[in-house]
Amino acid sequence: MLNLFNRVFKDRTILITGHTGFKGSWLAFWLDQMGANIIGYSLPPPTQPGHFDLLDLDITSVIGDIRDLQKLNEVMESNKPEIVFHLAAQPLVRSSYENPIETYETNVIGTLKVFEACRKHDVRAVVNVTSDKCYENKEWIWGYRENDPMGGFDPYSSSKGCAELLTSSYRNSFFPLKEYKNTHHTLIASCRAGNVIGGGDWAKDRLIPDIILSACHGKTARIRNPQSVRPWQHVLEPLSGYLQIGQKLLEEKAEFAGPWNFGPGDKESITVKEVVELMKEQWNHINYKIDKDPNRVHEANLLMLDSTKSRTLLKWQNLWESSRSIDNTVKWYKKYYETGEISTKTDLQSYIRDAKKKNLEWSG
């Protein structure tokens, strides 16, 4: 794996915030496989079991809150990372209704403090991972582009829109592209991805973890919004995009310091009910019923991304159809619950093989 991404991550000191979370742990694993020197900064793993604990990675793992600027600065000073992948967040829509202050403090003020630490310590590259929900959702039948307005109905989505505005403000105010290498040496980008699935996610109020846990306990899963359409994709898909952006920034290609969408094609945006039916084909223990609670909180019904910019300028593309992503995800959980083993490395190796077959730029 050392030849991936032009070998730019080998022996590079990299800070990942949120490394104990779902996407963060997959990213840490991939970077570790490429020979990076990884510093993780995060709250303790949010669930038990947790993907990060199961991976048992030999990295520097610091338990800390991104709202603690003093500790962030201490970690930056001690380790001097060249690039920061910022994934730490309060990531759940329904939790944002229950704890809006914590959601905004973490996703906005926490991001602000990460940026300030990066600015103080002259970090070369920053990749801020937000969400497809950052857009002002008008329930359009076409995907949102990077220059569409930020917004957000619920506190989580709104906080991610705020984080995007914050990224743009820092790029304009402190890291202007026209002054790159003159008054500063930092490039900052933001990445927005759709609904990400894969093994190792046990977060509450997420569709696939809820279904898996219900099946394991012989219960019937309750499904909200069965006709909601989402851009489902395996976690490795957007991670390949985040890494590709990180590569370009480390290679001092300033034109890549901006916002980027990483989502599947329109045909991969399928309904919640279709996802559950595909899961049932792989695991007959799965049973579900539709939750018809009229008092449930608002969640978007239709949300898709337009990733033309990434496909054109980065030559990035999805490798796995939604059915393949769902299949691999269910198999990951089945293997874990039946044998206690995880197939993270197998999934990554399979994904890289498919990238090489398609001669993707990042695959070496």
**Domain limits, the chain:** 4-363
Best CA proximity match to 46, nearest among 108, 115, 106: 106
Read off the pLDDT of residues 50-101 as tens digits, 9 standing for 90 and up: 999 999 999 999 999 999 999 999 999 999 999 999 999 999 998 999 999 9
Quote the DSSP letter at residue 189: E
* CATH code of the region 4-363: 3.40.50.720
Omega of the bond prior to 49 within 30 degrees of 0, cis? yes
| CA–CA gap between residue 270 and residue 287 (Å, rounded) | 19
Task: Give the pTM.
Answer: 0.94
- Look at residue 296 and tell me whether its pLDDT is greater than 80: no
Read off the pLDDT of residues 96-138 as tens digits, 9 standing for 90 and up: 999 999 999 999 999 999 999 999 999 999 999 999 999 998 8
